[in-house]
Amino acid sequence: HDVGEQPLSAGVARVERDLDGAVSRGRMDAETAAAARARVTATSDLQAAAHGAALVIEAVVEDMAVKRRLFADVQAAAPSGAVLATNTSALSVTEIMAVLDDPGRGLGMHFFNPVRAMLLCELVVGLETRDETVAAAEAAAAAMGKQTVRVRDVAGFATSRINAVIGNEAFFMLAEDVASAEDIDTAVKLGLNHPMGPLEMADLVGLDVRLAVLTELRRSLGDKYRPAPLLETYVRAGRLGRKVGRGVYRYDAAGDRLPDGRPTRAGRAAGS
């Protein structure tokens, strides 16, 4: 479900590319990919999307008011026994779910980019979350092939607190000209064995999302989470990452990084 035809079309196209890529790399056979395609239905009608669902997972912008408004609508559209989950990276699950008539059926299911490849699903247990809600979410995540961990509803949970610090420090380093963006990413991948560098990860997640997470962490936990000024500047400039074609790097319409998109210094890219 999404609010308009353009994001719906883009989402379905991304699913198609991912499935085609999995087949071409030998990670999935064509029959399995076709079956997966057949299970995907796209609609801008929330009532149609939530009707009959046993589990509804929300992944809208990191804005408390937006999430609460959506869940107020979702509870009216979904069956009364459905589990309602938010994919928030840092916001209070307890506060989001307080809008529900029955907050016990709500929790956080925090997935990681790229979701098709990352094995973890962080289950965030709110103040009112019932044990059976967590058990249902664990079963759903297991059916998706995910490993789960349970965390309390504290700002940033477990993973975002760590990941936000790494990514933020990379922006400080880029601004200080410690190394190019490409070399910072390469150092983290090869030296720390991360699958993606912190700057390319920020582009994938969205620089606006990363800034929203840091802003919430700073509000809740203090100035050690103060966003790097360069990150704030990129967001103000509209350089939000892969989804808009430019963040730290440049991307084509399919979301693939352009070969001339290697930043040599903060704010400049080779060939630009």
Residue in 31, 58, 62, 122 annotated catalytic: 122
122 is catalytic: yes
Taking every pair of Cα atoms in the chain, the longest distance, rounded to a whole number of angstroms, is: 56
Q: Rounded to whole angstroms, how far apart are CA atoms 133 and 119?
A: 21
The answer to whether 121 touches 148, Cβ cutoff 8 Å, is yes
Question: For 65-84, b where at least 16 C-beta lie within 10 A, e where not — what string?
Answer: eebbebbeebbebbeeebbb
Catalytic residues, by residue number, are 122
